[in-house]
Amino acid sequence: MTDSNDCDLFVIGGGSAGVRAARMSAQRGARVVLAEAAALGGTCVNVGCIPKKLYSYAAHFADDFRDAAGYGWTVGEPTFDWATLKKNRAAEIARLNGVYANLLAGAGVRTITGWASLADAHTVMVRTASGEETVRAKHILVVTGGRPTVPDFPGCEHVITSDGLFDAEPFPKRLLVVGGGYIACEFASIFNGLGAKVTQLYRGEQVLRGFDDDIRAHVAREMTKHGVDLRTRADVRSIEKRGDGSLAATLADGTVLEADKVLYATGRVPNIAGLGLEALGVKQGRDGAIVVDEAYRTSVPSILAAGDVTARIQLTPVALGEAMVIADHLFGAGKKAMGYDYIPTAVFTHPNIGTVGYSEAQAREKFGAVTIFRSEFKALKHTLSGSTERTLMKLVVDTASDRVVGLHMVGADAGEIVQGFAVAMKAGATKAVFDSTIGIHPTAAEEFVTMREPVA
């Protein structure tokens, strides 16, 4: 290819990975064009991490009002206004959309609003409101993310996904959540905290498959204590919409549950519809996930892909990290690398989950002999609040090397606490290093450096 190209890099998708790759590449002198049909920021900013965390904060206030009484505060009868939360959230998301637009413009990226598809290995066609534009590019990066998926069953047209729940109208006083992953558990916790009567169904034996078993069991107990009606080994057979607009869900065992809204959070699939991947021979895996090599190149060398559309580790910081590597490899020194071990993550249930590294079961399979340290306790705050919430903290240690290979927590601010420990674990910290570290007293976090007696 020569300079007759319209750009050096064409980015399809204006989510976290797309904006980062476009901006970093442009700052390195590349000519970059980005196409996005919806609001900038992708799932994370618009219908994912950011609004979800804002709603989680809102839901926690219900607990705070109750807890205050034990500390001498008379709060009165609190009331919640759904419209105010939605309005303020929308304003903040709009502000962030503007921030993303300014970042791209400031870096010199040309943004096209429209639907993009691949015409050939170096050509993108974008359908805009005013027509169609064709752009030639040396490299094309596909970062179109993922989308919620709903199984086909009688009445499935009556359900909503997480994308639509943020603006549900009116507020669902009775919410049925179907699914057992982190999205289902988070929304069950959030709407329970906001005052809805929440029933959560999961067809498996325990929610949060893939997480440490102790964490799964503990958070399920705590969610139930907080008021979520959590039912495992349960699934929906059909849903009927009644004359008053309410929904009746018939379960596999014949039980009928009534709800104002039914949220399906049963999985996400790569957002690849209409891209034209098949015609170009771009190799795809399960559910259409784009297959890439270590340099994020597809089976067509000029086309790259990253983030959720590759369906590997579907986390915003991972997508951002991959975008940085791509920009560096295409237009920089080519020295950056993405490590996929010891990636910390949080689940914003009530209480929160924070985790990094291997679960106990995974560690036993990989390392053989492991030593387990575990502590469960009532946090200092709740000695006066009257709450029965309990915190769980767990360390998984490779016995042979003494390296801490798994760290897990259920409790207040778990994500904030685990992030710091992730740095130590990435650096290879041993249990001896943990033991020699002085804790900050009195905090829950200090428990990770004071656990001395193994439980297994």
The pLDDT tens digits for 169-219 are: 999 999 999 999 999 999 999 999 999 999 999 999 999 999 999 999 999
> Mind giving me the DSSP string for 5-63?
SSEEEEEE--SHHHHHHHHHHHHTT--EEEEESS-TTHHHHHHSHHHHHHHHHHHHHHH
Residue 158 designated active-site: no
DSSP 171: -
Burial of 297 (0-12, 13-18, 19+ CB in 10 A): middle
Query: Does 1 score more than 80 pLDDT?
Result: no
Rg of the chain on CA atoms, in Å = 24
Per-residue pLDDT reduced to its tens digit, 211-249: 999 999 999 999 999 999 999 999 999 999 999 999 999
The pLDDT score that the predictor gives to residue 5 is 81
Report the percent of the chain where pLDDT is more than 70: 99
Per-residue pLDDT reduced to its tens digit, 93-106: 999 999 999 999 99
Contact 157, 23 (CB under 8 A): no
Listed as own residue / partner, the contacts of 84-92 with beta carbons closer than 8 Å and 24 or more positions apart are 85/54, 85/55, 85/58, 86/166, 86/167, 89/51, 89/54, 89/55, 89/166, 92/50, 92/54
Contact 137, 155 (CB under 8 A): no
Extended beta strands in 69-167, E state: 110-113, 115-120, 123-128, 131-142, 146-148
User: What is the edge-to-edge ordering of all strands in the sheet holding 261-264?
Assistant: 229-232, 197-202, 174-178, 261-264
Tell me which residue has tokens 């325990």.
Answer: 206
Contact 239, 258 (CB under 8 A): no
Separation CA 349–CA 14 (nearest Å): 28
Separation CA 311–CA 318 (nearest Å): 11
Contact 283, 196 (CB under 8 A): no
Separation CA 33–CA 54 (nearest Å): 32
Tell me which residue has tokens 């709450």.
Answer: 387
- What the chain holds in terms of domains, given with CATH numbers, is 7-147+269-331 (3.50.50.60), 156-266 (3.50.50.60), 345-449 (3.30.390.30)
Predicted model pTM: 0.96
Separation CA 219–CA 334 (nearest Å): 42
Catalytic annotation, pick one of 60, 139, 226, 441: 441
